[in-house]
Structure 1
Amino acid sequence: MPSFGVAAVGGCQIEPSPIWLKSDIAGRAPQQTVRVLFPVNDLAATQAPESGSTPITSTASFNASVNGTNARVARARVLAGGRVSLLVVVPATIGAPVSRTISVSAPYGTCTQTILVGQATQWNIYISQFGHPDPGWCTGNTYAQERQRQVTNQINALDQISATLSRPFDNRQRFEADDFWQFDEALKDHPARAAQFRQYIQDGYYGINPIHAPLLMQALDSESFLQGLLPYAHRERVWELPKRTSAFLSEIPESTAGMPTLLSHAGITSFARGILYGNIWGGALPTQMETRRVFWWQGPDGSRVLARMQGEGAYFEMLANNYDEFANVLTSKASGYENAKAAGNYPADAFLIFGTLFDCGNVNTSYKIGDYIQQWNDSVAYPHIAGGNQNEFFDYVAQNFGNELQTYSGGFDTQWTDGLAYHAPSTARFRHNAMGLLTAQKLSVIANAPGANGYTTSGDAWLDAIKSHLMYAEHSTLANSNACFNCALQKDLEQHRAALVQDVFTRTQALMGGALNALTPNISTGAAASAEANPFVVVFNPLSWERSAAVTVTVSSVVPLNLTDLSTGNTIPSQLVAPNTLLFVAPNVPSLGYKVFRLDGVQDGNVAVPFTTGANLLASARFSVTVDGATGGVSIYDKFLSRELIGGASGRKANQLVYNFGDALQSNTNIVTSVEAGPVAATIKITGKPSAGTISAFTQTITLFDGMSGLPSLHFQNALSKTVSNPNCALGCDLERIYFAYPINLSNAATPQMRVESNGGITNIDTD
């Protein structure tokens, strides 16, 4: 209880409240309220900023009147930051808004204002409690502590659902989870609980949300859309989970104008969550962002999803510390939506709150939310808490207000300010603003590809692939793997992820094959079918930007063949790199499109080989690559720029293996090289082994393509032969560290810039 011997600061504030209390007398109408805020000195220290509010157990020190008639102070609390909030009951308004003069006396001053009080809005509040059992979140835990925390959290949630099943339907709790595997894995030693968990999922009380963040942008701008999918859909099939219609994201990276098309083709009809205030690309929908406005988000092909963006940086509202804090959050949210509705910015009469489910310090943090929901609905007439989840919220809004919602076509952009590197801001902006998005025609071709690998139709495979991409936890699975706070847990998770990625690779290969099979009948080779004596090669580009790339194709020939690019008529040289395997460069293949090449017979044996080779040397018109016999690393000289591209203070070479075992840096030994060259590419293979450790051998293959072929590039491929590291690594142990060095010679701003891209990230290198 704060001291009342402090002074009020500045003016107080009286505002209409969305809260209408149920009357204590049966049959009486609900009681309208207004909120009175007193700024007060020296109260900030009584509350930590994040803890919400503290109830004032007695309202005897406050006196209130409405138009000169005594009024009841129904609730009082101290808010964070040094404010006191009162809820005062006023006579209910019938018809148009009316003026009320409210006067409140308190130990630190008197507040009197005349305000307009309107009629009640029966808001329906949907509370979606979200579980985020992130191994790696609570970094001080041991393996056993982390596992036990997950088990306890999960069992508490199941018990809470069980406890609410006897309540009226709209007072029952629903829970959401963002990674099914972590929950299911936590209960693997509790078969009865695991069965209960899955049953609650099938009954709709436990929802598994599609969740995704850093990889989402790559659905629009990188290969990971087709090669880095993560198979939530596999779990959905194996465990017979109900289909989800709502996607949840914690962040939205980059330009995303094509995302509604991807979502809708995946059978996902609604989308929610998270843009940070002030970082909205092009000023898009600022009102909608700030008021959590629900709107239709339309893709470039006319597909649309029901969308709701949220402007808070925090993931969840803290709802379960105590009932007073719970009531304060709901009152504050309802006031914001009430103001937005009055301003014409929010047509619906329902809103959604995400409530936290667990945290590291208190596994029971949300155990009482179900009781709070019932306590609220027992005492408050308006607004009403509908005990639904995210899907039910979107269904309600679509059914009742779908025709009143605005439609927005375009993308959003966010920029993080905390130095995270995985979101690749420049990549998406560049590629999509300059090169365009997915087109409905190309997406439709892939979506209707024929069946493969046991799928009923390839349409199902396509939907599974997109769902796999959207329905995997964002940063949680290996959030802190580099810190290795808990090596046993991280190893467990890494093995699980490896199995998922292998499964996805297999399914994606089938999906891509099905897409090409669907494209093939529609491809014209410019000749009548009966006259097509020579076979054709179709090269499909699955990325959203035009590119040239090396292609290998299986042929019946054991000698190199000529190819003709049908779009230009140019002859394309080839090279046999293995029995019946042809290598050539396909130039300028369109974004999400294809090129056709005709095989035109045996290649002339006099085709020039545009490379110079030596024992430790590869050179083309553009590059000269020299192997360091002591380390296996290479130097790269650019003849066009007249400069060495590798250098820096470390003294290391490009692609040099840097291996720490224990506390010692190991040297590379037994370096051997071999060189091959042809008209398309030249390859140097480097083998060796570290002086000690679990790596018995390494092989580094460097392929140089001729700059004149349209692909002036070097490709590095590394392989290690290695035994398993110590599986009993304890917390804080010194792990093996394996790196490949790329000390790029960038000494001043005038030199070329180096950008390293990978699935999930991009790095712009400024210095060695």
Structure 2
Amino acid sequence: MENQTLPYGLGALWAGSGARYSWKGICGCLTKLNKIKKRPHEIYWWQGLDDSKILMKWNSMLVADSGARTMGGYAEARTPAKEVEFVDTNPEFKAIYPFPVIGIFGKGWDDLKTLTDEFMTVAKEKTNASRRVIVSNITDFFEDFEKNHGSTLPNYSASFGNEWDLYTASITEVSARVRRSVEKLRPAEAMATLVSLQRPEFMNGRTEVRDQAWMNLGLYWEHNWTSDGHWVTRQERNEWGRRMADGVANYVDGLHGDAAFALGGLIQKSGVHRRFYVFNPLSWVRSDASEIPYDGPAEVHVVDLATGEDVPFELVTPLSDDRFPRKTLRVHAAALPPLGYKVYEIRPGAGKAFPNAAEYANGVLENATHRVTVEPRGAISSLIDKTKANREFAGKTSQRQINDLGAEDGHLELEHSGPVSVTLRATGAGPLKHRTRVTLYRNSPRIDIRNEILQNFGGTHTWSFAFNLTNPDMRHEEAGAIIRAKYLADGGHYSPDMSRLEWLTLNHFADMSGEDGAGVTLSNADCAFMRLGTSDILDNQSRLDTKTPQIQVLAGGQIDGPKAGIAKQGGDSYFLQRFSLRTHSGYDAATAMKFSLEHQNPSVAGWVRGGTAYPEQTYSAVTLSNPNVVLWSLKPAEEGIGNGVIARLWNLSSAPQDYSVSLAGGIQSGRQTTHIETDLGDLPVSNGAVAMKAAATQIHTIRLRPAGTRR
């Protein structure tokens, strides 16, 4: 409500949660859009990429200075008698809305509380021989409309970009903290599931803080980051938002820490040497650099118990100016099982020697797959893929390159070199004081970037990612959908009208490919918005630049300030903004998403304390048959593990897919549910697995009851 824009993927998420209808009314205030322009449709079937549908009422706002208290606003029924006459007599409204069933919703406007019997009075007074006025519960309008006119409506899908959404970038580090907490919930809930299956009481006592965290998530993103109210100051809104973020982090951090510790007490252990597990929260086999706090001797070697072989490891000593310094042991954990773990043992004495993960000389990092040139300020001026005939992927646009905050000088040094990883550290003073680390890993094509802005700022700043690509084509994860950054008429997903497209949503990844298919996937862990090329808005009309091979990631800014958002980042002077790069020969949605999830969901390491529930060497909790489908999350049911395990799965293919899911101990029963865990119907179980059919890009939520459990 109120915000003038709307994401593409939200409709499919709502439909998957059981919603059938939606009404949207805008404010028509604090906007760069033409608020009285006719919308594409007044009422339509909002169709998702998965072919799901929601009946959407989103009327054009025809009265300019109404304060949203007219049709198309969020308080259409603020003056109900007046509005009944408007819809019945206004020729412009009647021309664009030809239906005899009209819904007028929203009374309270900006009032703290609204109690009224005005609707009943107006309904009686305004009913006459030619019209009937009904006091509606909103649902009855949609049911009536669907029955009598639903078959005549068009299907329509488009993203309208971002407007008020952007104001969360005015307090960008706090917004990033909330984002990190949501991502951290994936391994936390996965480990909590494994623990709860053995210790059903594990989640007891967490309901209140969990529910409050859930409320905080909704409240944090609520539209009042406009921060322009009469009764709540910007500073009060700033402080309140931080409390919301703290509530989310407190729950997630507590669950993650408790589950990781408890899991270590469930894994069998023999012998006298220290052991640690490395847990993979993702649903496919992966290799990762995993680390654990370590204060033991340096003269050791590390053994993978599943293979019996020495593995590459390194001891990482933090620098004195690190924000949270700690000494760690970092290991190359190869072939980690899906949603499972491997166990490693630390043994005394030197073991097998391994070469460094990459070589470094004169600003150039090089491993088996890439040669990367890093400038003293932390920008990447050359990105060569050695597996693709030494193709150069780095470009330059307006004197800015890859991971480029601005053309100022800096200082570059080798921070760390070992058999698992090699890291360069750059420090720059402008345009903002910052520190950048670029890391290459053993046997990995991933190029990790860790940026830290080390001062407060009040302007708008971006990290440029300029690529050497011709006729670029960008796809990116929006909200619940992976969409193409072009206009509808050009085969994309963006509306050319009533949209703000200078800052697009950047969730887990954006991928830019050239006309030959080759391109770069950009994984984004902390930021939320990006500018495609030189996209802008002028005279209420957005211009989406699809020709310039550049992504500008919004580091932070008070967009539409000074009237909207929080000034000077609410006083923050530290900002963590991490990215990763992967070059490729052709775009694939599942591959791009898996790459970004691996970057943003590091494996979890914990000490093995000994138990009886899980195997000593390795374990995998879930088997998923189709590589185009990813397990988005695995968690204990909301009502408790006695009500099963909830699995959320996303078909990342643009075509329908068949797949099956099984648990390590077998499945007793399965049910399809909504995303809010309302059961829809039983699923057949065959040979211990549940078979599913997913529409293109569809997200499923299912309830699985492991074999041997009781209700």
TM range (shorter): 0.3 to 0.5
Higher helix share goes to which structure?
Answer: 1
Greater relative CO (CA pairs within 8 A, separation 6+):
2
Under a length normalisation based on structure 1, what TM-score does the superposition of the two structures give? 0.42
**Greater Rg over alpha carbons, structure:** 1
Under a length normalisation based on structure 2, what TM-score does the superposition of the two structures give? 0.45
